[in-house]
Amino acid sequence: MRHTGVMHPALLYLPGGRLTLSELSAARLDGHLVELGEGYVPADLVDSPSARAAAIAELVPTNTAASGPTAAWVHGAGATPPARHHIRRAVTRRLRLDVPPRVVLHDTALPDDHVVSLGGILVMTPLRTMVDLALVLHREPLRLPWIELLADTDPALLVEAVATIDRMRRVPGARAGRAALQRAMLRTR
């Protein structure tokens, strides 16, 4: 697991913390703050994966990692986070977690080299995120926009994801995922 940037906690305002939701909304209307994930940040703060991760940290329990569309958003895909956040186990043992209805727990473990630490939470790497999004397309076609948005942050991810899928054997969704990634490559040219 790699550790990358950490946003200073003083720059993230969560409703009910130092300020009430009304105060945060007023600061947003005045142009001092902007919404980011579950909270607000100063309007002049550079949008970064670290800031995005910190903004959803309360939704990602210890020993789990942001995954799927949530990880794509953290890595810079799109302007708004997904309506439902996705997390996966980042440990080999089973976890008993009570997650909010807006959070989907995928109970499969991620290897250490497939996660990075950002903004105080674990997040799937961009490559692993792209591969996972592609592999579920055959049953969840609404993941396609997240593939395209993540590809906009780094078009090389498409080539790397196709190569990764080509090395896999007998994985459900591989053919459909590979085809979708190749179509996305044509779009980015």
Low-confidence ranges of the chain (pLDDT < 50): 2-3
pLDDT at 122: 97
Indicate the pTM of the whole model.
0.86
pLDDT at 8: 61
Phi, psi angles (nearest 5°) of residue 58:
-70, -15
pLDDT at 10: 65
Residue partners of 71: CB distance under 8 A and separation at least 6? 65, 86, 123, 124, 126, 128, 129
Decide: 184 and 150 in contact? Cβ < 8 Å: no
